[in-house]
């Protein structure tokens, strides 16, 4: 016999029913849990560690430190725009559902379809980027003090094993994830704070503030002539902010878990904003700790380990100490990938429930109350996206670009629609009032900027090994989204399906 529902639970279910949905998923997440999932997916230690080499080569310390401040500032505008929308429309579908609600009725299905596919691309790519980054860290750490030699095939095998474990854990449902979420919050806050303090305290020498905030480095040219020579230093600085922007990505998880969060109209938007703000502060601390503690810049950039964070830790703590601290980092990255798959699967569940994917994937396991089919679809697609790593030296940075562009386009489309058609936007409890449209405009312009720069070449000269295949992947999804819509989807896809009414008429 189920316990009586609280007033908050009843209000949440009533709000969901107003949007046409049953309470299929178990709603027992607090605002702190909701924040924790987005905080874990942003996981500043994940993005910064896995892309630290990219940052040092593409602009160096100056772009990494100052770029983090700039990116954090503009990302908060995107977060504010998203928070206002999720407060009004707290469903697991997230951006594609918002696009349908905010757009005029005649274009709502089209807006929902396109937004949904870009969000799906970003969700899959961010899971790929996180977990493949972990596989690289495992491979690199395994070489410390051993004769192990990593290869692309071995790394892909590690990646597959980690993905499988994430799928298994997610399949046990919300209860197991909630406890792991508590652990993740502690690891990403207390654990990483202790990591940074230890690095700063133990470092034999420290770099100057001038080094950290004004040293520019361009190692984008394989033949010695980088993009700062062939284009301009501004070009290198622009593409160099990928490290920061990719790191502060995935905060839409608070929206995708809103159907499992109590008092979602307040908890979900606060989860979005808290995750961005807290991550911005922690991330800046991590960047400063690592940059100030570099002992030999040239040796760190050209490290035999091909992972500058490992080299920094070895220079400070020796091999044994470096392995211990890298293990802490890898545990954090593991949790990040785990909850990325959680968010990914909820988006796919919602999109399937509304007809964007086959209905086969919208089934919820009766025992664990988890969308198990969507979970394994997420795992499978993430594995497939990593296969190009077998033949490309820039596959990882391309995956991070794809994730960033796919997610931010899907974030930006509902914000843009709300900006153009404000009359359709019925605000929730979190209301930006007179500042709403100005914030939306800044958010949309920033997303346009990063979408363009992250499609540009990152290595020079451009050949089959260094080609940034981000525009190819994004272009394929855009072609699919627009082409499938005009060829057949427009005949049957009507946008979010009001589940309760659909069941009454036998849908």
Residue 339's pLDDT is what? 87
Nearest to 481 by CA among 113, 187, 148, 85: 113
CA distance linking residue 253 with residue 84, whole number of Å: 15
Q: What percent of the chain has pLDDT over 90?
A: 45
Q: Residue 465: pLDDT above 70?
A: no
Residue 430 phi/psi, 5° resolution?
Answer: -85, 105
Q: Residue 225: pLDDT above 50?
A: yes
Per-residue model confidence as pLDDT tens digits over 387-417: 876 766 566 667 777 778 888 999 999 999 9
Cβ atoms 86, 31 nearer than 8 A? no
Residue 475's pLDDT is what? 86
* Mean pLDDT for the stretch of residues 124-130: 88
The length of the chain, given as a count of residues: 507
Nearest to 346 by CA among 255, 411, 433: 255
Q: Checking phi first, is residue 423 left (phi over 0); if not, alpha (psi -120 to 50) or beta? A: alpha
Where are the strands (E) in 83-227, listed by range?
217-218
* Mean pLDDT for the stretch of residues 437-464: 88
Using the structure block, give the residue that is written with the tokens 């508590």: 182
CA distance linking residue 318 with residue 229, whole number of Å: 37
Residue 24's pLDDT is what? 61
Residue 175's pLDDT is what? 72
Residue 226 phi/psi, 5° resolution?
Answer: -85, -175
Give the bridge partners for 29, in sequence order: 261
Give the bridge partners for 261, in sequence order: 29
Using the structure block, give the residue that is written with the tokens 């420290």: 206
Q: Radius of gyration over alpha carbons of the chain, in Å?
A: 22
* Mean pLDDT for the stretch of residues 362-385: 87
Prediction pTM value: 0.86
**What's the start-to-end Cα distance of the chain, in Å?**
30
* Mean pLDDT for the stretch of residues 353-372: 83
Can you tell me whether residue 191 is helix, strand or coil? Answer: helix
Nearest to 258 by CA among 78, 416, 23: 23
Q: Residue 166: pLDDT above 90?
A: yes
Residue 201's pLDDT is what? 96
Give the best-scoring range by mean pLDDT among 8-12, 38-42, 257-261, 448-452.
448-452
Q: Residue 379: pLDDT above 80?
A: yes
Q: What is the mean pLDDT of the chain?
A: 86
Residue 88's pLDDT is what? 86
């Amino acid at each position: 016999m189920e316990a009586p529902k609280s007033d908050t639970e009843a209000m949440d279910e009533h709000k969901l029913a107003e949007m046409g949905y049953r309470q299929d998923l178990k709603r027992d997440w607090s605002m702190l849990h909701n924040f924790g999932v987005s905080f874990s997916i942003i996981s500043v230690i994940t993005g910064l560690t896995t892309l630290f080499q990219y940052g040092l080569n593409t602009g160096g310390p100056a772009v990494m430190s100052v770029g983090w401040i700039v990116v954090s500032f503009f990302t908060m505008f995107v977060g504010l725009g998203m928070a206002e929308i999720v407060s009004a429309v707290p469903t697991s579908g997230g951006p594609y559902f918002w696009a349908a609600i905010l757009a005029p009725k005649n274009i709502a299905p089209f807006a929902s379809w396109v937004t949904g596919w870009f969000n799906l691309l970003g969700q899959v790519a961010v899971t790929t980027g996180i977990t493949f980054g972990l596989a690289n860290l495992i491979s690199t750490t395994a070489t410390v003090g051993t004769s192990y030699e990593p290869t692309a095939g071995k790394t892909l095998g590690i990646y597959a094993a980690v993905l499988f474990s994430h799928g298994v854990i997610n399949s046990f449902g919300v209860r197991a994830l909630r406890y792991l979420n508590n652990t993740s919050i502690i690891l990403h806050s207390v654990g990483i704070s202790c990591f940074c303090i230890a690095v700063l305290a133990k470092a034999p020498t420290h770099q100057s503030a001038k080094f950290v905030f004004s040293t520019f480095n361009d190692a984008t040219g394989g033949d010695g002539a980088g993009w700062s020579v062939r284009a301009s230093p501004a070009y290198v600085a622009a593409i160099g902010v990928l490290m920061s922007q990719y790191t502060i990505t995935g905060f839409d998880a608070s929206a995708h878990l809103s159907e499992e969060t109590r008092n979602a109209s307040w908890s979900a938007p606060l989860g979005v904003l808290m995750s961005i703000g807290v991550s911005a502060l922690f991330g800046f601390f991590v960047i400063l700790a690592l940059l100030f503690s570099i002992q030999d810049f040239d040796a760190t950039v050209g490290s035999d380990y091909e992972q500058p964070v490992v080299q920094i830790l070895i220079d400070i703590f020796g091999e044994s100490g470096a392995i211990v601290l890298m293990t802490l980092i890898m545990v954090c990255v593991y949790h990040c990938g785990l909850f990325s798959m959680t968010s990914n699967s909820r988006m796919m569940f919602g999109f399937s429930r509304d007809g964007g994917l086959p209905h086969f994937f919208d089934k919820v396991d009766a025992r664990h109350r988890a969308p198990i089919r969507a979970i394994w679809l997420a795992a499978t697609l993430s594995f497939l996206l990593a296969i190009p790593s077998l033949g490309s030296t820039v596959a990882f940075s391309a995956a991070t670009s794809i994730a960033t562009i796919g997610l931010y386009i899907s974030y930006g489309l509902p914000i843009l629609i709300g900006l153009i058609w404000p009359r359709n936007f019925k605000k929730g409890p979190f209301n930006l009032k007179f500042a709403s449209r100005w914030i939306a405009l800044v958010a949309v312009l920033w997303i346009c900027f990063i979408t363009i720069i992250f499609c540009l070449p990152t290595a020079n000269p451009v050949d089959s090994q260094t080609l940034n295949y981000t525009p190819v992947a994004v272009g394929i999804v855009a072609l699919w989204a627009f082409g499938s819509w005009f060829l057949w989807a427009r005949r049957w896809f009507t946008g979010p399906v009001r589940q309760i009414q659909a069941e009454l008429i036998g849908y």
